[in-house]
Amino acid sequence: MTIITGQDSSGVRRTLNAGGASVAYYSIPAAEAAGLGAFSKLPAALKVVLENMLRFEDGKTVTVDDIRAFGTWAEQGGKNPREIAYRPARVLMQDFTGVPAVVDLAAMRDGLKALGGDPEKINPLNPVDLVIDHSVMIDEFGNPRAFQMNVDREYERNIERYTFLKWGQKAFNNFRVVPPGTGICHQVNLEYLSQTVWTDEDQNGETVAYPDTLVGTDSHTTMVNGAAVLGWGVGGIEAEAAMLGQPISMLIPEVVGFKLTGEMGEGTTGTDLVLKVVEMLRAKGVVGKFVEFYGPGLDNLPLADRATIANMAPEYGATCGFFPIDDETLRYLRNTGRDEDRVALVEAYAKENGFWRGPDYDPVYTDTLELDMGTIVPAISGPKRPQDFVALDKAARTFTAYVKGQREGKDATPKEELRWEGEGGAPEPTAIPGDEGHHARGYVNSPDGKHYQLHDGSIVIASITSCTNTSNPYVMIGAGLVARKAAEKGLNRKPWVKTSLAPGSQVVSAYLEAAGLQEDLDKIGFNLVGYGCTTCIGNSGPLAPEISKCINDNDLIGVSVLSGNRNFEGRISPDVRANYLASPPLVVAYALVGDMNVDITTEPLGTDHDGNPVYLKDIWPTQQEIAELVEKTVTREAFQSRYADVFKGDEKWQSVETTDALTYDWPASSTYVQNPPYFQGMSKDPGTISNVEGARVLAILGDMITTDHISPAGSFKDSTPAGKYLVERQVPVREFNSYGARRGNHEVMMRGTFANIRIRNEMLDGVEGGYTLGPDGSQMSIFDAAMAWQDQGVPLVIFGGEQYGAGSSRDWAAKGTALLGVKAVIAENFERIHRSNLVGMGVIPFEFTGGDTRKSLGLKGDEVVTITGLEGDLKPLSEVPCTIRYADGSEKTITLKCRIDTAIEKEYVEHGGVLHYVLRDLAAA
């Protein structure tokens, strides 16, 4: 890989001796001494970007003026929104987003060949690691067979995808695949792939050291910022451009400083801390900004907790949440098996180049906020947004208020629910005799002879899952100790709770087994089900048929509790409406009680062998107990042994056969992998941006419409457009798999766009799901309506509210939008990644101005929309007129801000998307 341009016009290249070797590096102090600017007060996160400018300065793509812009950032109050070209060192992928990315690369080879170019030019120039972690589903649970049976089923479902990925590993340079059953990409990245300071050879064969940086096709790529590795999530299309050598166009970011003081109190966890951080930063508003954590509290915060906080940057809306290099960084690198010479290089480089957080670390920030960690209390978050922080002692009461609101057709946040209490309490729900406090109930007669009642609030899923928390040995050991103490007292999970343990890496199993805690977890149903994302990304698997039937027949509000990072509507399970994020120890506790209506801080979880009540405090471990076991069982040797053959895989992976062909032989019968239409019939020359004339409205959507709403990842029924497509191709329902697993087939994904079961199109009254009004005015699926409008040659627009496109980085939320014929999305504001993805697919994002909203405009969906001012010399962030013609013939013209933010983004849209831009560039070369 070429990591520098071959010139050093700024004269800042220096030599460093560390770890028994001499390496070159690009010196920030030398740049300051050369008069390029005052850099010493920059936050470490921003210095990483500055170093990138120094290393790639070529007078064209990166100029000396770009570097000087960083020099005035601090004196301008932490702001200088200059457009820059940034090049990350590497790319990380997971299989849900990675498969469509490799599909695109394979299609680009076909496209380049059709344009007369050499298909071998389509190759990653930067290292790419793809970790298969999103495919395993929890079909089997609660028994010793669960892991192997789920793995076997995973290969049965996904052999077409795995064959394709193995072909990609052979066909493309710089592309490695971590096989199934290894771990979650972010945890593998944190524990093994990342180095904090990267090294590579330049054109002259000299070793150069520089900060480890990456982008990933998953929003939680930010997790590795806990180890001072600058990374964030991008859509697959942007990642593909980056791996093919295109710089990432971005504005020099603002950096919000988050000062941490004090230390965590007894009985609290890193999960409790991050849920509070998410709430605070969402309220602050940090979309599109870097957040850097600093302050004396970091001295009391292990890297595992830092990684938990960094992981959830998408949940608090930031581009990343960065922790500078310090002694704890070095301790973690050493303890996780990194080479000693690498650890020495990290320390020497950080201290020499101004990245070290010592006692005198005091940079300038754009803005700051502060949290005393001693004030943190046990908490959960839900029932449908990560920022809905609920102190544990208020969880039961807020849930009751939530249920009442749902039954009355209202939607309240936990803060609103608590406000009702402050006004004298939410009205009591209508009681059912013998079941006071619950709105609805049903009875289950299970095949094993157990009989029990379910009601609003019954917890039917309790899952220890997700890289967010399973990467943290303190909370995992804590969960194991809660299970041990519970089992000793005779407690067990409630029979209606589907329990699962899905660690993010095999190292977790190593230390749980070494501590003897896996046996205790097994006793109460938390058997190993697989190494992957599982419940957190909707692969929770089916509930028992009798439980699912009871919930749906009685319209019950079922509950899930998971140690994940996302709890959006319709994500976790189609049978569950309320989802709560919690620490692994609390997940265990909630499995024991099985009911969200129970206040587990004051009410018993169950009874012991002698019939005595057992409370949470009776089974909660002390911090000392946890720390002692972590020290004893989480060892350097465990990391080294479990990652020794990380790319080898098991016998199943080794037996997957594929070809050595340069281009992919697309199997016509495959329902998983199809050649996408993006580059078919593409000309050598780009087009121009056209006005949007006479567009019809496909959907009017509310606030916080997530990428899960736009492109769900979970299961789907045979009555949906996607299900009908598969049934027509003789795929039985049992083999449907999930939307996420089928992202290599555009036909399925088009039909799944805007098909979330909980999405609400405001064009329809009281209707949930992916429906709209078609050209004839009748209700139909969004896919069918879009195809009908396409047949008439009519362009489409989408209207939305605040935070449009929040959540996962999934590029299919933009790809599907484009393939449905949507030319513009008009919203109050956009989340960072989705806005970029829309542009990358040639769909133009627009924001309302002047206080206009979909509501103030009285939109019903039968309007005709025309947006002008787009042709000719369109400047980034221009304001353009939009005329809305209502059904009664009246018209209103409003002003929209065009969210094509940079000059290069304008070129992408002119080409029809970023990949078209790259392909034409390679063909011309």
Angle of helix 473-488 relative to helix 584-593, nearest 10 degrees, comes to: 30
User: Does the pLDDT at position 415 exceed 90?
Assistant: no
With bands split at pLDDT 50, 70 and 90, how would you rate the model's confidence at 409? Answer: confident
What is the average pLDDT across 752-781? Answer: 95
With bands split at pLDDT 50, 70 and 90, how would you rate the model's confidence at 412? Answer: low
State the chain's mean pLDDT as an integer.
Answer: 92
User: Looking at the chain, how many residues does it have?
Assistant: 925
Least confident range from 53-57, 227-231, 446-450, 868-872: namely: 446-450
pLDDT tens digits, 608-638: 999 999 999 999 999 999 999 999 999 999 9
What is the average pLDDT across 441-456? Answer: 87
- Return the pLDDT at 237: 81
- Return the pLDDT at 809: 74
Contacts of 642 (CB under 8 A, 6+ apart): 505, 506, 507, 510
User: Does the pLDDT at position 404 exceed 90?
Assistant: no
User: Does the pLDDT at position 437 exceed 60?
Assistant: no
Least confident range from 100-104, 287-291, 584-588: namely: 100-104
With a pLDDT cut of 90, the percent of the chain lying above it is: 76
pLDDT tens digits, 740-749: 889 999 999 9
With bands split at pLDDT 50, 70 and 90, how would you rate the model's confidence at 187? Answer: very high
Rounded-to-5 percentages of helix, strand, coil across the chain: 35, 20, 45
With bands split at pLDDT 50, 70 and 90, how would you rate the model's confidence at 419? Answer: very low
- Return the pLDDT at 807: 79
Torsions phi, psi for 376 (to 5 deg): -70, 135
With bands split at pLDDT 50, 70 and 90, how would you rate the model's confidence at 85? Answer: very high
With bands split at pLDDT 50, 70 and 90, how would you rate the model's confidence at 469? Answer: confident
What is the average pLDDT across 855-882? Answer: 96
With bands split at pLDDT 50, 70 and 90, how would you rate the model's confidence at 2? Answer: very low
Taking residue 411's Cβ as centre, other Cβ atoms within 10 Å add up to: 10
What is the average pLDDT across 798-809? Answer: 90
- Return the pLDDT at 226: 98
pLDDT tens digits, 327-364: 999 999 999 999 999 999 999 999 999 999 999 999 99
With bands split at pLDDT 50, 70 and 90, how would you rate the model's confidence at 241? Answer: confident
pLDDT tens digits, 872-921: 889 999 999 999 999 999 999 999 999 999 888 999 999 999 889 988 98
More confident residue, 696 or 415: 696
3-state secondary structure of 344: helix
- Return the pLDDT at 439: 64
User: Does the pLDDT at position 421 exceed 60?
Assistant: no
User: Does the pLDDT at position 808 exceed 80?
Assistant: no
- Return the pLDDT at 833: 83
| Angstrom distances, CA of residue 403 to CA of 50, 391, 595 | 50, 18, 13
User: Does the pLDDT at position 116 exceed 60?
Assistant: yes
Tell me how far the alpha carbon of residue 589 is from its chain's centroid: 26
- Return the pLDDT at 422: 36
> Could you tell me the strand order of the sheet in which 255-261 lies?
320-322, 290-294, 255-261, 367-372
User: Does the pLDDT at position 428 exceed 80?
Assistant: no
Q: Find the DSSP H helices in 269-321.
A: 270-284, 303-311, 313-316
- Return the pLDDT at 467: 87
d(C-alpha 576, C-alpha 567), whole Å: 11
The encoded tokens of residue 748 equal 């399925």
- Return the pLDDT at 436: 46
With bands split at pLDDT 50, 70 and 90, how would you rate the model's confidence at 7? Answer: low
Contacts of 628 (CB under 8 A, 6+ apart): none
Short-list 134, 242, 237, CA closest to 185:
134
User: Does the pLDDT at position 794 exceed 90?
Assistant: yes
d(C-alpha 511, C-alpha 508), whole Å: 5
The encoded tokens of residue 124 equal 């990653």
The answer to whether the beta carbons of residues 551 and 575 sit under 8 Å apart is yes
- Degrees (nearest 5) of the Cα angle 287, 81, 56? 105
d(C-alpha 388, C-alpha 279), whole Å: 7
| Structural domains present in the chain | 90-375 (3.30.499.10), 379-634 (3.30.499.10), 692-924 (3.20.19.10)
With bands split at pLDDT 50, 70 and 90, how would you rate the model's confidence at 674? Answer: very high
What is the average pLDDT across 586-605? Answer: 97
Short-list 709, 738, 733, CA closest to 99:
738
The answer to whether the beta carbons of residues 591 and 494 sit under 8 Å apart is yes
3-state secondary structure of 178: strand
